[in-house]
Chains A and B, each alone.
Chain A
Amino acid sequence: MNLITLHEFKGGIHPPENKTQSTASPISSLKLPETLTLPIAQHIGAQSKPVVSLGDMVLKGQVIAEAQGFVSANLHAPTSGKITAIEHRVIAHPSGMSDICIEIQPDGLENWATIQGIENYLEAEPKALIEKIAASGVTGLGGAGFPTHVKASVEPSKIETLIINAAECEPYITADDMLMREQANSIIKGIEILQRIVQPKQCLIGIEDNKPEAIAALEHALKHFKDNTFNIHVVPIPTKYPSGGEKQLIEILTGKEVPAGGLPSDIGILCQNVGTCFAIYKAISKGEPLISRVTTVTGNACGQPQNFEVLLGTPVSHLLRETNTDSNQLNRLIMGGPMMGFTLEDAQTPIVKSTNCIIASSQQELPDPAYEQACIRCGMCTEACPAQLLPQQLYWFAKSSNLEQATAHNISDCIECGACAYVCPSSIPLVQYYRFAKGEIKQANADKLKSDRAKERFETRMARQEREAAEKEAKRKARAEAAAKKQAEKKAAEAAAPASSEAKAAPAADLELLQKKLDAAQNGVKKTKEKIALAEEAGDTDKVELLKGALTKSQDKMKEAAKAIASAKKAAKAEPAAAQIEMTPERMEKKVEMAESRLNTAQKRLADAKESNSEQVDALTTAVEKQQERVNEAKQALTEFLNTLSNATQLPAKPEVNLDQLKQKVLAAQTRVDKALERLNMAKEQGLETVGALQMGLDKQQAKLEEAKKALQEASA
């Protein structure tokens, strides 16, 4: 029928299919549950952000959470109703943890928001189609939940083959099978849209040969579209688990292997789930966002195993009720298939975009895992591994937490299909070990990133602190230098000043002191002379001798004091100008003022004393007189000083300066005249022509000298 050569992937298993239970009746819909709980993270990538608030009324198909960034997806209200909660609820996750969910209480009206599809979508721009898919919140419905618009946004020239994954290899699950049987036309139309977007050379629908009805339906639908020249082929493949794994299906259909750590697009292939094609068709042709999906409800505990078109957010418990599940028989509730699914702890967990199956299993059907026994190194796991890894080696590495070796043995290429654990005669939960090791590796990588960042931050901080310290030190040094400079300047100024200022201050102070000393010495001489006279009268010769010695000493002292006074007076004379400068008019005025104030107080006291008839009146009158005298003296001094000051200004100090200058000028002129004479003489001796010129120069210099001499005489006169 077609020319596709099938290949085979190594490994794989053939577990009991258990698919027929749920294919007996067609896909049916459910009555509305009481509440719908919609986790905001139903896809791989960034969480979407709620755009409704508590109490809002929403319409069916209205956006309730918006995509955040490119790798993210919109979320729509599956039915019309009221937002009753936006809070943490248990979500469909193996950890059984909770996440933010939007709860809607349906109003039962099913009022649609305005939706619009794209007409003539096969002629529409691929970009517009991708935008519409993104707006409709379509994600991969096969299991991983990768946003479809991201996957479809590859460069069209890159994709040679579009592969539609309809293998549905895992036991129990029949959602895609039933969808293909009932919606083959829509699926083919969805594939056409994908072809329009990525423009591949061919399209292969890979489907396991255990679904003859679905194959027939698809082929029938394709015949219907035979006019269209799309190169679509339905390719039945042998039933083997896990042929539905993306990498395995690619290998079966094309013989190519996706490189480790790479994407199918690296080898020119795009893979989409068949359910996703149906969702794409609904989104593009009708504008219906992804608000429901086909989910298989099956298992021995389930009363009526069948497929349902389930609104997203429907609690699993609602499905179990609607299928008359026997809660006594129910042993384990599994979301997903028996090989790769996970056990649900809480029946309130909602159905999400990637939920393809719910298994309500009985004890006999899926018994509790058998006890783990020691690995006997039989190697059956290696034969079963579809990724051609070494499960046994990985097991040892995972068990001993030897993450480095596990990474080296490509644990990241494990697709966690569970084939190895299925065949293990020792019932070792191998996949759990690998999941643990993968988690540890992820954690270690995250820790490494964090520690690298911490190191960088620490080093940056150290560098900053060092820089700040250096800056501080530099500032401190600059300040110290400035201070030292100032100090030096001050010292230099002091060194220049002290000679004069000390000379100014000292003589005045010293003179008084010296005068006192001289007075004391004179008194001492006088007293000793009197004592000598007394002693001589008394005839005490010993005493006279002693006293005479003391007298000479006192006389020496007196002489020294007199000498000191003389020298001090000389020094004082050397600085008359400086001393005079000190006597500014202001100071003298102050003195006058002070004397006047003293006089006033004395007069007041005298008046007080007179009133009280004190004995002190006499003393006070003399004091007042004295103060009066002092005031007069001070006033006189002031007037005298002012007079001298005015005289000084009238006769400026210029003449003196001029005298010196004039003297210098005369000298300079004299030397010039001498030099000119010398030159003239030399010129005369040698008979040079310049004699005449030199004679003239000499005359000029002599004239200048005469002028200078005259000026000097006038000035000195």
Chain B
Amino acid sequence: MTIILIAVSALVILSLIFGAILGFAAVRFKVEGNPVVEQIDALLPQTQCGQCSYPGCRPYAEAIAGGEEKINKCPPGGESTIAAIADLLGVDPEPLDAEHGAEKESAMVAVIREDECIGCTKCIQACPVDAILGAAKQMHTVIADECTGCDLCLDPCPVDCIDMLPVATGLQTWHWDKPANIIATDKEQAA
């Protein structure tokens, strides 16, 4: 009988100790916020374009993390972003939802045709990253380095003086292409 009592009391004491440790750890090492949101947000391209129908990349990341949204609604990120998020969340990658737009071939940058600009500041208000400089009745210009190519400034422009141009590859950004990925027999047939 005493043996049973000793065993039970030992177990009770142990469970109390471990319970206390776990309780302490839960408080001490509590993770603020949802870390998955941060991780998804880090994978998104941060163009803040709103093509996913959310008002920015973070809200979309929150929606994905909440399980209420699909991962294939980010055209600027494209297939690579979808694959990365799928990898992170352990879900199957899906093809890009065409409803939200197509993936662009190259990065784009907004360019204002400055002699046509009337200085209405509408594009400045629309720019999610404050990449347009200007003042009322003064010509506006885009800070090309800060432009994410989100297209959000195009619609508000009353005189349609904003063009989206592909970012030119300069000497600083050029890099070698991937070698043509065909093996010898294919090449001979092609020739």
Residues on A close to B: CB < 8 A? 41, 91, 93-95, 97, 99, 370-374, 398-399, 401, 427, 429, 432-433, 435-436, 438-440, 442-443, 446-447, 450-455, 457-458, 460-462
Contact of B176 among A99, A435, A452, A455 (CB under 8 A): A435
Residue contacts A-B, CB under 8 angstroms, 16 given: A41-B171, A91-B171, A97-B170, A370-B184, A371-B188, A372-B182, A373-B183, A399-B178, A436-B175, A436-B177, A440-B175, A450-B145, A454-B148, A455-B57, A457-B129, A458-B46
With A433-B179, A453-B146: A372-B184 Cβ-Cβ less than 8 Å? yes
B179, A455: Cβ atoms closer than 8 Å: no
Q: Which residues of A contact B170 (CB under 8 A)?
A: 97
Query: B93 at the A/B interface (Cβ < 8 Å)?
Result: no
Contacting pair A454 B146 (CB below 8 A): yes
Give min CB distance, A155 to chain B, whole Å: 30
Q: Is there contact, CB below 8 Å, between A95 and B184?
A: no
For A451, give the chain B residue with the smallest CB separation: B46
- A439 and B176 within 8 A (CB): yes
Most A CB atoms within 10 A — which of B44, B46, B48? B46
| A94-B176 contact given A454-B148, A457-B131, CB 8 Å threshold | yes
Contact A454 B46, CB 8 Å, known A443-B173, A461-B129: yes
Given known A-B contacts A454-B148, A461-B128, A95 and B48 have beta carbons under 8 A apart:
no
- Measured CA separation A427–B174 after assembly (Å): 25
Q: Is the contact region of chain A dominated by helix, strand, or loop, or is it mixed? A: helix
Given A95-B171, A95-B174, A461-B129, decide whether A372 and B179 contact each other with a Cβ distance below 8 A: yes
Residue of A nearest to B77 (CB): A451
CB distance from A367 to the nearest CB of B (A): 15
Closest Cβ of chain A to B97, distance in Å, is 21
Q: Which residues of chain A come closer than 8 Å to B48, judged between CB atoms?
A: 454-455, 458
Tell me which residues from 100 to 137 in chain B have a Cβ below 8 Å from any Cβ of chain A. 128-131
Nearest-CB distance from B85 to chain A (Å)?
Answer: 14
Q: Is the CB of A439 within 8 A of B179?
A: no
With a cutoff of 8 Å between Cβ atoms, the chain B residues found around residue A462 in the complex are 56
B187 at the interface (CB under 8 A from A): yes
Please give, as numbers and ranges, the residues of chain B lying within 8 Å of A447 by CB-CB distance: 45
Return chain A residues, CB-CB under 8 Å to B174. Answer: 93, 95, 97, 439
- Contact-residue bracket for chain B: 20 to 34
CA of A71 to CA of B169, assembled, Å: 23
A716 to B106, CA, bound (A): 106
> What is the CB-to-nearest-CB distance from A414 to chain B, in angstroms, rounded to a whole number?
13
Residues of B contacting A453 in the complex (Cβ-Cβ under 8 angstroms): 146
3 closest pairs, A vs B, by CB? A439-B175, A371-B184, A451-B46
Query: Nearest Cβ distance between residue B127 and chain A, in whole angstroms?
Result: 8
Which residue from A427, A432, A435, A458 sits with its C-beta under 8 Å from B128? A458
Task: Tell yes or no: B181 within 8 A of A by CB.
Answer: yes
Q: Among residues 49 to 91 in chain B, which have CB atoms less than 8 Å away from a CB atom of chain A?
A: 56-58
Interchain CB contact under 8 A, B171 and A457:
no
Smallest distance from the beta carbon of B88 to chain A beta carbons, Å?
Answer: 12
Set B46, B171, B175, B177: member contacting A455, Cβ < 8 A? B46
A436 vs B174: C-alpha distance in the bound complex, in angstroms? 10
B183 touches A371 (CB 8 A): yes
Known pairs A93-B171, A442-B175, A452-B46; A457 contacts B184 (CB<8 A):
no
8 A Cβ contacts from B149-185 to A:
169-171, 173-179, 181-184
Q: Complex: how many Å from CA A150 to CA B57?
A: 42
Across the interface, do A432 and B179 meet the contact criterion of CB distance under 8 Å? yes
Q: How far is the CB of A189 from chain B (nearest CB, A)?
A: 36
Task: For the complex, give the distance between the alpha carbons of A99 and B170 in Å.
Answer: 9
Besides A451-B47, A458-B128, 8 other A-B contacts (C-beta < 8 A): A398-B178, A429-B179, A432-B179, A439-B174, A451-B45, A453-B146, A455-B46, A458-B48
Complex CA gap A94/B148 in Å reads: 29
B56 in complex: contacting residue of A94, A95, A438, A458, CB < 8 Å = A458
The minimal Cβ–Cβ distance linking B123 to chain A, given in whole angstroms, is 14
How far apart sit A462 and B170, CA to CA, in the bound complex (Å)?
33
Give CA–CA (A455, B44) in the complex, Å: 10
Task: Please indicate the chain A residues that have their CB under 8 angstroms from the CB of B183 in the complex.
Answer: 371-374
Give the complex CA separation of A461 and B45 in angstroms: 17
List B contacts of A370 (CB < 8 A).
184
A622 to chain B, nearest CB (A): 72
CA distance A371 to B148 in the complex (A): 40
Q: Provide the residues of chain A in CB contact with B179, threshold 8 Å.
A: 372, 429, 432-433, 436
| List of A residues within 8 angstroms of B46 by Cβ | 451-452, 454-455, 458
Q: Are the CB atoms of B178 and A457 closer together than 8 Å?
A: no
User: Measured between alpha carbons, how far is A162 from B15 in the docked complex, in Å?
Assistant: 67
Q: Once the chains are docked, how many angstroms separate the CA of A447 from the CA of B146?
A: 11
A602–B130 Cα distance when bound, in Å, is 77
| CB proximity of A143 to chain B, nearest CB, Å | 17
Shortest CB distance A373–B (Å): 5
Are A457 and B175 in touch, CB under 8 angstroms?
no
- Shortest Cβ distance from A435 into B: residue: B176
Separation of A451 and B181 alpha carbons in the complex (Å) = 30
Shortest distance from the beta carbon of B166 to any chain A beta carbon, whole Å: 15
Q: How far is the CA of A447 from the CA of B184 in the complex (A)?
A: 35
> Roughly how many angstroms separate A363 CA and B175 CA in the complex, as a whole number?
27
What is the distance, in angstroms, from B42's C-beta to the closest C-beta of chain A?
Answer: 9
Assembly CA distance A114 to B182 (angstroms): 59
How far is A439 from B176 in the complex, measured between Cα atoms in Å? Answer: 7
Contacting residues, chain A, for B45 (C-beta < 8 A): 447, 451
Nearest B residue to A454 by beta-carbon distance?
B46
Residues of B within 8 A of A94 (CB): 176
* Min CB–CB distance B174 → chain A (angstroms): 5
Of all chain A residues, the one with the shortest Cβ separation from B56 is A458
From A461, which residue of chain B is reached at the shortest CB distance? Answer: B130
**Interface code B13-45, partner A: CB below 8 Å = 1, 0 otherwise?**
000000000000000000000000000010011
CB-CB under 8 A from A429, the residues of chain B are 179
**Beta-carbon contact of B175 and A438 below 8 Å:** yes
Q: How far is the CB of A403 from chain B (nearest CB, A)?
A: 10
Identify the closest chain B residue to A457 (Cβ).
Answer: B129
Give Cα A432–Cα B179 distance, bound, in whole angstroms: 6
For B175, list chain A residues within 8 Å (CB).
435-436, 438-440, 442-443
Task: Output the nearest chain A residue to B47 by Cβ-Cβ distance.
Answer: A454
